[in-house]
């Protein structure tokens, strides 16, 4: 009973919490037992349904911020308690007719916008422009590109710095939205680059406004907090910009050919680290890894369980994969991987998050690069997310 009311040792041993965090959570748990009488049927029912009412803390390792999360969620439940669905009354006929008319209008607008790229592609003016461009020399094409880039940069600066009224700002945003809706269905890299430019224009306009019109230089305290917030927003903008730089021009590499003799293929250790995820999540990844098209004697799959759970050990034995754990959880996932490397001797390592399901051809599409270039140390593949949104 004492361990239940003051679960300090459980937090330390099972979840590997830091001593201050474990002491804080254990103390708050003890206070809750004393003042809230958690042994009452009402509280026990609530605790049994914590997955429903507190899903963001029910399936995660305890942390120091959990009491605040629980308090905020409880406040939200008191203010906006989910009510059972009631039978809706049928809408008046005129409301239904208005909704159908509005839907037809938007469908016509969508068809018009979606048809614009094809109309532009079939335009005789566009084809004539392509033929004229081909008649130019490479030097003339380079100079024309520089001129267009300079003019475009000037227009972008004007769009960012020009102050607009409410009506003009609304019209400007509408035009950007219309352009985005038109080009989003155009194949190729051009629509991606254009959408990036539109996003940068909007975000830069916001930052320009923040830097030039929102800082209160007359009040030192307001200025200090305003500058701190502005630094945080600028950092977020830089992260956005770096993300665009990484994704604006993806490489289209084709797989490197593997030798016809499979005996020359390298041995691969496929690692699946996990901590507190459910077995139902890890099971699909393990089964997909077992189905990878690779010689069985050259593929070794290992579950790296930092949660030290018996059900995972039994599942690994049933599936025929290795089960590796350790006595502590130092350095989280990195420490988990480093500890496993001491027990493995494969030529290559493939690391999957426990919810990343590999396709059957994964190794055949990637390993060839290591054989082509002996100095190659890392191959990173793009992610394609097929999992449904749990929300």
What's the CA angle centered on 296, arms 291 and 297, to 5 degrees?
160
Helix (H, G, I), strand (E, B) or coil at 322: strand
Question: How confident is the model over 186-194, as a mean pLDDT?
Answer: 83
pLDDT, tens digit, for every residue of 105-145?
Answer: 888 877 777 777 777 777 788 788 888 888 889 889 899 99
pLDDT at 183: 80
Q: Within 10 Å of residue 273's Cβ, how many Cβ atoms?
A: 23
Find tokens 């539109």 and name the residue: 198
Question: How confident is the model over 80-95, as a mean pLDDT?
Answer: 67
Name the burial class of residue 305, with classes exposed (0-12), middle (13-18) and buried (19+) by CB atoms within 10 angstroms of its CB.
buried
pLDDT at 389: 54
pLDDT at 110: 75
> In angstroms, how far is the first alpha carbon of the chain from the final one?
36
**Encoded tokens for 247:** 């994704």
Query: Are the CB atoms for 268 and 258 separated by under 8 Å?
Result: no
Q: Is 227 left (phi over 0), alpha (psi -120 to 50) or beta?
A: alpha
Q: Within 10 Å of residue 12's Cβ, how many Cβ atoms?
A: 16
Tell me the β-bridge partners of 268.
299, 348
Tell me the β-bridge partners of 351.
271
- Whether 386 has a pLDDT exceeding 80, the answer reads no
CA–CA gap between residue 324 and residue 334 (Å, rounded): 14
- Sign of the CA dihedral running 284, 286, 287, 289: positive
pTM comes to: 0.54
| Position 85 confidence tier, pLDDT thresholds 50, 70, 90 | low
| Position 342 confidence tier, pLDDT thresholds 50, 70, 90 | very high
| Position 362 confidence tier, pLDDT thresholds 50, 70, 90 | very high
- Whether 71 has a pLDDT exceeding 80, the answer reads yes
pLDDT, tens digit, for every residue of 298-337?
Answer: 999 999 999 889 999 999 999 999 999 998 888 889 999 9
CA–CA gap between residue 74 and residue 56 (Å, rounded): 12
pLDDT at 84: 56
Boundaries of every domain in the chain: 2-79, 156-250, 262-372
Q: Within 10 Å of residue 311's Cβ, how many Cβ atoms?
A: 11
Helix (H, G, I), strand (E, B) or coil at 276: coil
- Whether 103 has a pLDDT exceeding 80, the answer reads yes
What's the CA angle centered on 22, arms 47 and 62, to 5 degrees?
45
Helix (H, G, I), strand (E, B) or coil at 297: helix
| Residue 374: φ, ψ to 5° | -60, -20
- Whether 87 has a pLDDT exceeding 70, the answer reads no
- Whether 172 has a pLDDT exceeding 60, the answer reads yes
Residues 6+ apart with CB under 8 A from 26: 6, 7, 8, 11
Q: Which CATH architecture has domain 262-372?
A: Alpha-Beta Complex (3.90)
- Whether 82 has a pLDDT exceeding 80, the answer reads no
pLDDT at 344: 92
pLDDT at 5: 77
| Residue 17: φ, ψ to 5° | -70, 150
CA–CA gap between residue 384 and residue 356 (Å, rounded): 9
Look over the chain and give the mean of its residue pLDDT values, rounded to a whole number: 86
């Amino acid at each position: 009973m004492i361990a239940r009311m003051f679960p300090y040792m459980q937090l330390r041993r099972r979840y590997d919490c830091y001593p201050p965090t474990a002491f804080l959570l254990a103390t708050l748990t003890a206070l809750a037992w004393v003042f809230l009488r958690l042994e009452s049927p009402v509280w026990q029912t609530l605790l049994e349904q914590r997955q429903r009412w507190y899903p963001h803390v029910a399936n995660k390792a305890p942390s120091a911020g959990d009491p605040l999360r629980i308090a905020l969620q409880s406040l939200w439940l008191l203010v906006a308690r989910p009510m059972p669905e009631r039978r809706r009354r049928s809408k008046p006929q005129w409301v239904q007719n208005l909704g159908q008319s509005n839907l037809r209008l938007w469908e016509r607008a969508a068809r018009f916008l979606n048809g614009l790229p094809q109309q532009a592609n079939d335009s005789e003016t566009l084809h004539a422009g392509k033929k004229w461009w081909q008649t130019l020399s490479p030097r003339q094409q380079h100079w024309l590109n520089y001129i267009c880039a300079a003019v475009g940069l000037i227009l972008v600066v004007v769009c960012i710095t020009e102050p607009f009224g409410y009506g003009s700002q609304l019209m400007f945003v509408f035009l950007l939205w219309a352009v985005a809706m038109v080009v989003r269905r155009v194949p190729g890299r051009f629509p991606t680059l254009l959408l990036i430019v539109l996003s940068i224009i909007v975000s830069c306009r916001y930052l320009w406004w923040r830097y030039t019109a929102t800082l209160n230089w007359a009040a030192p305290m307001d200025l200090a907090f305003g500058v701190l917030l502005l630094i945080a927003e600028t950092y977020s903008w830089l992260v956005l910009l770096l993300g665009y730089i990484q994704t604006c021009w993806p490489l289209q590499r084709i797989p490197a050919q593997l030798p016809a003799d499979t005996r020359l293929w390298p041995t691969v250790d496929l690692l699946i680290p996990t901590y507190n995820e459910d077995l139902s999540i890890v099971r699909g990844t393990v089964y997909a890894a077992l189905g990878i098209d690779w010689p069985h004697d050259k593929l070794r799959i290992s579950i790296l369980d930092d949660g030290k759970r018996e059900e995972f050990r039994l599942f690994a034995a049933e599936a025929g994969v290795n089960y590796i754990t350790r006595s502590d959880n130092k350095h989280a996932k990195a420490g988990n991987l480093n500890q496993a490397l001491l027990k493995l001797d494969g030529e290559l390592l493939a690391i999957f998050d426990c919810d990343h399901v590999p396709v059957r051809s994964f190794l055949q599409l990637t390993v060839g690069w290591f054989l082509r270039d002996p100095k190659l140390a890392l191959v990173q593949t793009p992610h394609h997310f097929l999992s449904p949104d749990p929300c």
